[in-house]
Chains A and B, each alone.
Chain A
Amino acid sequence: MFGLDKKDTSLLILVAILTMLAPFILNPFPATSGLAQFNAGYPDLMQRFVIFGIFAIGFNILFGLTGYLSFGHAAFIGVGSYAAMWMFKLVGMNVLPALALSMVMSGLFAVVIGYISLRRSGIYFSILTLAFAMMSYALAYSVLATDMDGPDQQGLLQKGLTGGETGLQLTLQDPRVFGQQATADGNLPVPSLFGLEMRSSTDVTFGDWVFTFSTGYYFCAIVMLIAFYLSIRIFRSPFGMMLRAIKSNQQRINYTGLNAKPYMLAAFVISGVYAGLAGGLMAAMDPLAGPERMFWTASGEVVLMTILGGVGTLIGPVLGAGLIKYMENILSKINSDILHTWFAFLPDGLEDFVVGMIYPFIGKGWHLTLGLIFMAVVIFLPGGLVEAGQRISRIFKGRKAPEGAKKSSTEPAE
């Protein structure tokens, strides 16, 4: 189906089912129970799952296939967000033109950055991309945030192209040539798809369970499925093979008379466009764009997601993105009171001790957990979650499996 072989088709269908049923799957606990805080089925978080999934899928096309570790991919997220915001401000609140512009703009940026950065490889490439991303951050934070044309009539460029520290926001004075400047009751219009508002959602109550179906989430999920499908096609195409060949031995490619450069640049631009799309979706879900999205720790985060899920695997980046965003939300919500209620069954002294031991790793300290998990994955499990899954399934299947598992679709590119 869709030009995929049987295995890839079933993977795609599995991902499609999981994303479409996510509001159910991620809400396993009744709203009234104490475990409800582990529910991840609210629109804001689910949107982040799929948006960062897109980002990580794109990053994986570069890092997983070619082995070039970019430490500046967040720059494209920022570019995408700003481009989408300007489309919302100038043209109208329809998300499609906004996403189109964010992909085009991030693609252009990727061509320039990629053309320069790809002249070097290895650690130099990482540092060049890092330098570009930090430069974009500084540009967005201060340089482009100064008034450019003097106070123009609508005050559009009053805070420059990027709005600086506070970020770029919608205002009632924005022209929005093909849309309304304000809603009937004088509020800011919200991003929509031909009248279908991204923010709208329906609650379905089922006994104690409350499931929220959000338009924005389903829109993002469909975009992610398309992105995922395209990435499978790229992985299986001759182009994908070429990228793998570059990863395993670039010198040999050169000796056979092929120029690796255009392939590398194409991979870089594709992953940049994916990141731009993710950035555009972020702006579409929450019309706001700030420079902090471009900070280099944001670039580190996507590296982390890809590694955690499994570099060079199809499904890995999506899993990694989901897991990290889930932990970020859930772990950072737990505070010491909640811990005390959990361990209330222990004797007092022991309870305080256990809570004291766990406390540094949750709440505001969840970054510590993240760092530790990340280190553990890099040290013990370079193939990430996917490799872990394969190892476990190998144990269950006995000794027959390894032969087949090696050829499976999730094998990391050499």
Chain B
Amino acid sequence: MDAIILQVLNGLDKGSAYALIALGLTLIFGTLGVVNFAHGALFMIGAFCAVTLSRILTLSHQVIDETRTDFLGNPLKVDVPYVYDIFGQAAGDTIIDWAVPLSILFAIPVMILIGVVMERGLIKHFYNRPHADQILVTFGLAIVLQEIIKYYYGANPIPTPAPEAFTGSFDFGALIGMEANNIIYPYWRLVYFGFAAIVIGAVFAFLQFTTFGMVVRAGMADRDTVGLLGINIDRRFTIMFGIAAAVAGLAGVMYTPINSPNYHMGMDFLVLSFVVVVVGGMGSLPGAVLAGFMLGILESFASMREVINIIPGINQIIIYLVAIIILLTRPRGLMGRKGVMED
């Protein structure tokens, strides 16, 4: 029982990332009908938003500290972040410590901007081209974005720690009244799951309960008719693209403490996210979320030692195997609708 709960928990953080990226992919696909191979790059850029903000916050200038001397007896030069000058030392430390969560505020406008620019500047011109062209141009874009990031940030992973308060682990087993010390779970992963749940909930609520969301849903069902009713559906879809980019970016921001960001993390996630989208059913938002968590948890079960001893390496291929089986038995995916991408 302990082992099962532990694996479910372990699967949640990866599953959250899959679900968030797949949600964005599905949003773009459902609204614009475009298959976005650059979505993994957006996830990666989100992660680098966090890196950038923590670099900005630790920007510092040298001050001569008269009270201390170096080994030669000269006054010591100390780096003082500009944040100290503005907020004072204690508050400054807290702000630097909380760089990753603060990056959410920084990443949302940046990602929406990138998404809108991408849609208006490039993808707009590909609506009437074959899907193969859309795949290819976004694939090219993904390479370009990845290489730009590599140029500025280097090829090595950049460690970006979580705030002090959330480092370390806690005893989840004792928390739910089971035997202590069996289920140890890092705080940040729980934070990540909670954050993902909030973002997913917010996207669904936005689509379900706002007028804007209602128009977008109507546009997803029948774009032409909505256009004929005098609604500028294109502009709304552009904004949805921005929101989808922001969802991917936020997934990236919060993922940085779990895995130090590097330039190819987006590509690594992209392939799996596509599999998630296809398993969930192309164009189905609940399907994407469900499949994301399902595959994440499945992967974590497959990486249990007991399973690996029977079939070595099964954790590497389980997702693909499941995807192939599901596509063969339920060609539209778990929750796919008829008529979506049937051509």
Contacts and interface: CB of A to CB of B under 8 A. Distances in A.
B105 interface: no
A131 B323 contact: yes
Contacts, number: 116
A123 B324 contact: no
A11 B135 CA distance: 32
A379 B140 CA distance: 10
B132 to A, nearest CB: 5
B312 A368 contact: no
A67 interface: yes
Contact of B132 (A69, A145, A367): A69
A399 interface: no
B271 A130 contact: yes
A367 B343 contact: no
A375 B313 contact: no
Contacts of B122: 379
A367 B143 contact: yes
Interface stretch (A178-186, A231-239, A295-303, A338-346): A295-303
A382 B341 CA distance: 23
A379 to B, nearest CB: 6
A242 to B, nearest CB: 20
A324 to B, nearest CB: 12
Interface stretch (A42-50, A113-121, A275-283): A113-121
Interface stretch (B9-17, B204-212, B220-228, B274-282): B274-282
Interface in A356-388: 360, 365, 367-368, 370-372, 374-375, 378-379, 382
Interface stretch (A135-143, A189-197, A209-217, A315-323): A135-143
Count chain A CB atoms within 10 A of each CB in B130, B137, B317, B343 and give the residue with the most.
Answer: B317
B131 interface: yes
A350 B294 CA distance: 57
Q: Is the interface of A mostly helix, strand, loop or mixed?
A: helix
Given A126-B135, A382-B133, A297 B282 contact: no
A252 to B, nearest CB: 13
Interface string B154-182: 00000000000000000000000000000
Contacts of B147: 365, 367-368, 371
Count chain A CB atoms within 10 A of each CB in B267, B278, B314, B320 and give the residue with the most.
Answer: B320
Q: Is the interface of B mostly helix, strand, loop or mixed?
A: helix
B27 to A, nearest CB: 16
B231 interface: no
A113 B199 CA distance: 37
Interface residues of A, number: 44
A60 to B, nearest CB: 13
Contacts of B237: none
Nearest to B312: A146
Contacts of A126: 132, 135
B151 interface: yes
Contacts of A145: 313
Contacts of A67: 130, 132
Contacts of A124: 278, 282, 327, 331, 341
A307 interface: yes
B51 interface: no
Contacts of B139: 300, 303, 374
B233 interface: no
A119 B328 contact: yes
A365 B140 contact: no
A372 B137 CA distance: 10
A120 B336 CA distance: 14
B317 A123 contact: no
25 contacts: A69-B135, A71-B135, A116-B328, A120-B331, A122-B131, A123-B282, A124-B278, A124-B327, A128-B278, A128-B327, A131-B271, A135-B320, A138-B313, A138-B317, A141-B316, A142-B316, A143-B313, A146-B312, A296-B271, A300-B139, A303-B136, A368-B147, A378-B137, A379-B125, A379-B137
Given A371-B141, A371-B143, A371-B144, 5 more contacts: A121-B343, A130-B271, A138-B320, A145-B313, A379-B122
Interface of A: 63, 67, 69, 71, 116, 119-124, 126-128, 130-132, 134-135, 138-139, 141-146, 296-297, 300, 303, 307, 360, 365, 367-368, 370-372, 374-375, 378-379, 382
